[in-house]
Amino acid sequence: MDWQFGAICALFLYSVAITILHVRRSRRFAYRASQFKRRRHVSTTVAKNDDETHFHTAADEAQRLTQTFQKFIPKQFVEHMSNSDVDALGLGYAAENDVAIMFCDIRGFTGFSERITPQELMNFLNSYFTRMNDPIHQNHGFIDKFMGDAIMALFDHREGSSQQKAMDAVNAALDLRKALTIYNGHRKNSNYEPINMGIGIHFGPVIMGTVGSEDRMDTTVIGDSVNIASRLEALTPKYEADIIVSAQVLQTIGSGFPIKTRLLDWVRVKGRKAPIEIYEVLSHLSESEQEKKLAVQTKIAAGIACRINQQWDEAISFFETAVAMSPNDSLAHHHIDVCRIYRSVDFKEDWDGALVY
């Protein structure tokens, strides 16, 4: 039995299609085993009892295989693909779906990793990922990839609406911040330095499928929406924001969800022509911090509108008023610096005011 298990696991590493076949096989085994249970009171022969034992054993093995496969490929990903024709699950399989995409990354990870040993680094990453896993899963999300210290997660509640998917992603981000606070408390008690992370979220269409070569395939999620979510996360240190979401996320959620945000900027991320509005999520902050940030949001928004129209003096005036109202708010200082740099640039007449990052 051990060599069979090892062989099947090896095949899994070479083909996602094999995973799908085993998932379906487990369902068939479970069904056939249940049929034998129903006929147990009728079956009296030794042969039938042997058959029942065989199918119970096969069903248990298939279940163990499925659980093992899910450690490599998320269950939700497999479920998407298992609804397709098995013959179509080869190299190049693709399916499009609207989902919420989240990227989560540890700030200053490169410098942090240089200060500890390789073994300490691996211990830290596993400890960190373990704690960040539950907030994502508990909000109907699944982790698609671990990339160094980064996490890419998708929120695709199969029975939920687009609004539910976007809400799940934001709720997960808020829960991740809570989990980080608890984790840093444990690190402090063990005399370890605290860590911080940035989170970016976007909602839109993605392509889920298989890529690679004939002898080595892998699952992937690609599309403009993935790029946007990744870029938003990368902007969190620039705007000193814990969580940044796109306007598309807030529009998808609508006004019925109690989330506090403020406008950060009007930007164009690399690899994309159309600019987007980006917002900072504030709901995880203390009441006093929220009040300070929200108190200047009208001035910030007015300053951004003036900057878009290249009204530099008016823009700086609005931002300076925001600084006077909340001296420690880094966002207003950031916009003042941007205006002073950009006012000397000779823009084309059709410049739309978006900053390129």
Residues 221 and 207 sit within 8 Å (Cβ to Cβ): yes
- Look up the pTM and report it: 0.79
Residues 224 and 207 sit within 8 Å (Cβ to Cβ): no
**Cα–Cα distance, 207 to 347 (Å, whole number):** 36
Q: Same domain, yes or no, for 44 and 120?
A: no
Torsion angle, alpha carbons of 314, 315, 321, 323, to 10:
-150
Q: Same domain, yes or no, for 155 and 219?
A: yes
Predicted confidence at residue 28, as pLDDT, reads: 55
Domain boundary among 48, 72, 96: 72
Mean pLDDT of the chain: 83
Q: How confident is the model at residue 283 (pLDDT cuts 50, 70, 90)?
A: very high
Q: Same domain, yes or no, for 183 and 194?
A: yes
Q: Which of 37-41, 129-133, 345-349 ranks highest by mean pLDDT?
A: 129-133
User: What confidence tens digit (pLDDT) does each residue in 220-240 have?
Assistant: 889 999 999 999 999 999 999
What does the angle CA 43 – CA 47 – CA 50 come to, to the nearest 5 degrees? 95
User: What confidence tens digit (pLDDT) does each residue in 253-262 have?
Assistant: 998 788 999 9
Q: Same domain, yes or no, for 38 and 169?
A: no
Q: Same domain, yes or no, for 172 and 125?
A: yes
Looking at the predicted structure, is the pLDDT value of residue 23 above 80? no
CATH (domain of 102): 3.30.70.1230
What are φ and ψ of residue 223, in 5° steps?
140, 165
Residue given tokens 């400890």 in the structure block? 127
Q: Same domain, yes or no, for 66 and 126?
A: no
**Cα–Cα distance, 136 to 176 (Å, whole number):** 8
Q: How confident is the model at residue 74 (pLDDT cuts 50, 70, 90)?
A: low
Q: Same domain, yes or no, for 166 and 221?
A: yes
Domain boundary among 246, 281, 316: 281
317-329 average pLDDT score: 96
Q: Same domain, yes or no, for 79 and 180?
A: yes
What does the angle CA 135 – CA 293 – CA 307 come to, to the nearest 5 degrees? 110
297-314 average pLDDT score: 96
Domain boundary among 25, 51, 72: 72
User: What confidence tens digit (pLDDT) does each residue in 195-213 have?
Assistant: 999 999 999 999 988 787 8
CA of residue 170 relative to chain centroid, distance: 10
Q: Same domain, yes or no, for 109 and 171?
A: yes
Q: How many CB atoms lie within 10 A of CB 165?
A: 26
Q: Same domain, yes or no, for 155 and 130?
A: yes
Supply 20's token pair. 């799908």
**Which helix (H) or strand (E) covers residue 25, if one does?**
helix 16-38
Q: Same domain, yes or no, for 267 and 317?
A: no
Q: Same domain, yes or no, for 176 and 324?
A: no
Torsion angle, alpha carbons of 307, 311, 313, 315, to 10:
-30
Q: How confident is the model at residue 1 (pLDDT cuts 50, 70, 90)?
A: very low
Looking at the predicted structure, is the pLDDT value of residue 44 above 80? no
Residues 150 and 105 sit within 8 Å (Cβ to Cβ): yes
Q: Quick one: what percent of the chain has pLDDT higher than 70? A: 74
Domain that includes residue 40, residue range: 1-72
Q: In total, how many domains does the chain have?
A: 3
216 has which bridge partners?
A: 213
